[in-house]
């Protein structure tokens, strides 16, 4: 089951980068043979974007769901995701059964680098720009999990067999430079992709806004590092100068998902139903935490009923890390994800259809980031207006409408931003509720950065006060690049902080 979660995002990459051992003996080349040398950019780009999206909604969503306070497991899933529930660093980094965050990201980065190299040869600037922006996305993820990682020596094949590491701060800044360069490449592009751009269909302005939003996310991630204040201001000025603004809609990848095994929306297929309409194991094993349900109930939040199924007229969750077999945590006694089967064949909240788009950055997240940035004095505009827009965007997405009525919800004292003694905490609380099940990994990052919201730790944790703060470098890297791994000096625990985590 775990392998299903992380292999999906790599299938297209491996299919395009593998070379048969018999190639040496080939005399004639079949122009229709699907090897890398025969593939055009408009074939490679959608495969890369789909790999990135699949990874976001499966592997990252799973880690963030468990480590971000959203999910636990039912009795039936007590033996699932044990390494994540127990904070077992060596098991997580294991070559065979671990969670391959390192491997997946670098494989997909290599794919984008190949696209970039070919685009440079063909002077295909649009593809150059997209590759750079998406490479930044993956490098940010690597730093967020591991801190220092190879950047300068990475993705160069056999040129650097033992790549040295750049500091996490350095990689963040180099990645932001990639975004800046990507914007300029797209700006200068004349030949535009269409259907092969499965994110924005060749719309330059949407790519500019996505790039700015991704950069704002990276700048907010380092918000607590006082030494970065001048750097942040300088990069915010560049965003303002380019004039494109930020995303105006959910940024979702959709290659034309089919009701076929391996070709469905990956969240739907991995957490709800397969192509035969049969519930998958995760639909039985994964449950919302009691903490998540309590926060929805505290605000009379109708998103609870839109996302989860009631049990005997109420909603019941689990405790993250609970490994004892108790009747109250059985699948039949706890709330599962709601989908079309439980909504009279209509789209539910998180689960709409087998061909729904995979959200990379939601409009809700963008507005909450702008609200936080405005509160900090980083951007123009009203923090309160951005905050309300974030809540509105979340309800609209989950209820599948353009303008869901949230007047009563906003009127609650516990929701109003104006009545909050700590405005950033309130923004992050609503952001946390909005991103549940969509981009779960943001919750873990915000918690490490700010300490909000203060969701319960795993009850299986040896030290109840110690939350996981990073991943350990994987065995795959230790086995091939041990000297440079050991030079980082902090690979033995999950409680070493990444560079932007200073609280």
pLDDT computed for residue 206 by the predictor: 98
Q: Which residues of the chain are under the pLDDT cut of 70?
A: 1-38, 464, 492
Tell me the whole-structure pTM to 2 decimals: 0.92
* 261 CB burial (10 A radius; 0-12, 13-18, 19+): exposed
What is residue 17's three-state secondary structure? Answer: helix
pLDDT computed for residue 194 by the predictor: 87
Signed CA dihedral, 210, 214, 215, 219: sign only:
positive
CA pair distance 415, 299, nearest whole angstrom: 8
Residue 392: CATH number of its domain = 1.25.40.390
Domain membership flag for residue 271: no
Domain membership flag for residue 301: no
Domain membership flag for residue 85: yes
pLDDT in tens, 484-502: 999 998 776 798 999 999 9
- The count of C-alpha atoms lying within 13 angstroms of the C-alpha of 336, restricted to the half-sphere facing its C-beta, is 24
Q: Which candidate, 100, 121, 120, places its Cα nearest to that of 55?
A: 100
Domain membership flag for residue 352: no
Which residues face 253 on adjacent strands?
358
What is residue 323's three-state secondary structure? Answer: coil
pLDDT in tens, 341-364: 999 999 999 999 999 999 999 999
Domain membership flag for residue 326: no
pLDDT computed for residue 464 by the predictor: 65
The phi and psi torsions of 290 (rounded to 5 degrees) equal: -60, -30
Domain membership flag for residue 297: no
Domain membership flag for residue 66: yes
pLDDT computed for residue 278 by the predictor: 97
pLDDT computed for residue 108 by the predictor: 97
The structural domain count of the chain equals 1
Signed CA dihedral, 329, 332, 337, 338: sign only:
negative
Strands (E), 13-141: 71-73
Domain membership flag for residue 424: yes
- Which residues span the domain enclosing 87? 2-19+39-256+358-486
What is residue 181's three-state secondary structure? Answer: helix
Q: Which candidate, 8, 472, 500, 435, places its Cα nearest to that of 232?
A: 500
Q: Which residues of 325-363 are buried (b: 16+ CB within 10 A; e: fewer)?
A: eeeebbbebbbbbbbbeeeeeebbbbbbbbebbbbbbbb
pLDDT computed for residue 440 by the predictor: 98
């Amino acid at each position: 089951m775990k392998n299903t979660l992380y292999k999906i995002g790599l299938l297209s990459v491996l299919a395009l980068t593998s070379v048969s051992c018999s190639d040496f003996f080939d005399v004639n080349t079949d122009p229709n043979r699907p090897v890398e040398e025969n593939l055009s950019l408009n074939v490679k780009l959608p495969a890369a974007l789909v790999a990135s999206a699949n990874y976001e909604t499966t592997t990252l969503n799973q880690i963030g769901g468990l480590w971000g306070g959203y999910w636990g497991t039912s009795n039936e899933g007590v033996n699932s995701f044990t390494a994540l529930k127990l904070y077992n660093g060596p098991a997580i980094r294991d070559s065979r059964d671990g969670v391959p965050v390192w491997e997946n990201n670098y494989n997909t980065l290599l794919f984008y680098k190949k696209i970039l190299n070919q685009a440079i040869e063909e002077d295909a600037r649009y593809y150059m720009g997209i590759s750079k922006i998406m490479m930044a996305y993956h490098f940010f993820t690597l730093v967020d999990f591991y801190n220092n990682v190879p950047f300068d020596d990475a993705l160069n094949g056999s040129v650097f067999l033992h790549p040295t590491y750049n500091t996490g701060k350095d990689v963040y800044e180099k990645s932001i430079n990639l975004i800046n360069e990507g914007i300029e490449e797209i700006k200068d592009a004349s030949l535009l992709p269409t259907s092969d751009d499965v994110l924005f269909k060749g719309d330059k302005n949407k790519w500019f806004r996505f790039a700015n939003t991704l950069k704002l996310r990276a700048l907010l991630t380092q918000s607590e590092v006082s030494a970065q204040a001048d750097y942040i201001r300088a990069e915010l000025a560049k965003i303002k100068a380019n004039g494109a603004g930020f995303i105006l809609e959910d940024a979702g990848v959709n290659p034309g998902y089919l009701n076929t095994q391996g070709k469905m929306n990956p969240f739907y297929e991995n957490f709800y139903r397969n192509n035969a309409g049969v519930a998958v194991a995760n639909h039985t094993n994964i449950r919302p935490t009691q903490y998540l349900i309590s926060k929805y109930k505290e605000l009379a939040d109708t998103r609870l009923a839109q996302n989860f199924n009631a049990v005997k007229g109420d909603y019941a969750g689990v405790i993250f890390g609970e490994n004892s077999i108790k009747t109250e945590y059985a699948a039949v006694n706890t709330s599962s994800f709601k989908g079309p089967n439980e909504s009279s064949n209509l789209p539910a909240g998180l689960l709409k259809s087998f061909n729904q788009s995979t959200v990379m950055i939601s409009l809700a997240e963008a507005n909450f980031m702008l609200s936080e940035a405005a509160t900090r004095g980083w951007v123009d505009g009203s923090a309160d207006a951005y905050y309300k827009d974030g809540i509105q965007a979340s309800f609209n997405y989950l209820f599948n409408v353009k303008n869901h009525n949230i007047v009563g919800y906003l009127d609650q004292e516990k929701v109003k931003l104006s009545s909050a003694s700590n405005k950033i905490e309130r923004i992050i609380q609503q952001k946390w509720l909005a991103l549940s099940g969509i981009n779960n990994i943001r919750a873990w990052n915000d918690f490490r950065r700010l300490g909000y919201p203060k969701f319960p730790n795993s009850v299986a944790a040896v030290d109840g006060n110690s939350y996981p703060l990073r991943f350990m470098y994987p065995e795959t890297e230790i086995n091939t690049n041990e000297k440079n791994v050991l030079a980082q000096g902090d690979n033995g625990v999950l409680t070493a902080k990444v560079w932007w985590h200073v609280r």
